Amino acid sequence: MCGRFTLTTTPEEVARHFGLDQTPLLSPRFTVAPGQPIATIAQALDGTRPVLALRLWGLIPAWAKDPKIGSRMINARVETVAEKPSFRGAFRKRRCLVPADGFYEWAVRAGGAKQPFHIALPGRRCFAIAGLWESWRDPEGASIESCTLLTTSANPKLRAVHDRMPVILDPADYATWLDPRPTDQATLTRLARGAPAEGLELQAVGRRVNDPRFDDAACLEPASGPG
């Protein structure tokens, strides 16, 4: 799964990387947790450009009676996303990019202790996690836009830490992933496999990140003991 990630990249670099018309108002995030509003990028309504918007992390299907269901929908598995009723509509028409520059996973150690790791590209470069978004309305007509992150099997390097990882898209595929027009199933399936992620670097970090109330640079400090 992917239950935490980071976005400390400058707003200017986020705008450049994703081809945004405007520099977004984003603060550095050292531990982004489910249930929080997160930066997502989707196609503008006129289909001409990518636009950044905050959406709640935890997808609420349009048919849901209770928005609390979103707490169980933070990830969508690529193996089943096209068939699951909660995700298949968004997979066909409402795909988004989730800017990040790293994510956390926890390795289970002897005795059951969990060691957090921060996983990133060299230089903590910005990248896009494949996401889906949805709009939900309550009986009074108020709406909530929410999202989920796609996950896939971990590559061999990450498997020692966790068996799943987020789908990291190739920048060359951003436009196709965002295109709301009908896209053939074979293309969507190919894109959902993500880009090769062999260059990812793992760093054991302290357990401060275990508490989502902490969101500061100390979350990224290397662990004091063995990872």
Q: Indicate which residues carry an active-site annotation.
A: 2, 105
- The dihedral over CA atoms of 84, 31, 158, 150, expressed in degrees to the nearest 10, equals 20
Which helix (H) or strand (E) element contains residue 176?
helix 174-178
Q: How far is CA 105 from CA 25, 36, 57, 101, 203, in A?
A: 27, 18, 17, 14, 10
Label residue 48 exposed, middle or buried (CB < 10 Å: 0-12, 13-18, 19+): exposed
- Which SS3 state, helix, strand or coil, does residue 184 take? coil
Note whether 67 and 145 are within 8 A (CB). no
DSSP β-ladder status, 143-153 and 75-77:
parallel
DSSP β-ladder status, 143-153 and 164-166:
antiparallel
Cα separation, 4 vs 119, in Å, equals 11
- Token pair recorded at residue 65: 């009676």
- Token pair recorded at residue 128: 């896009």
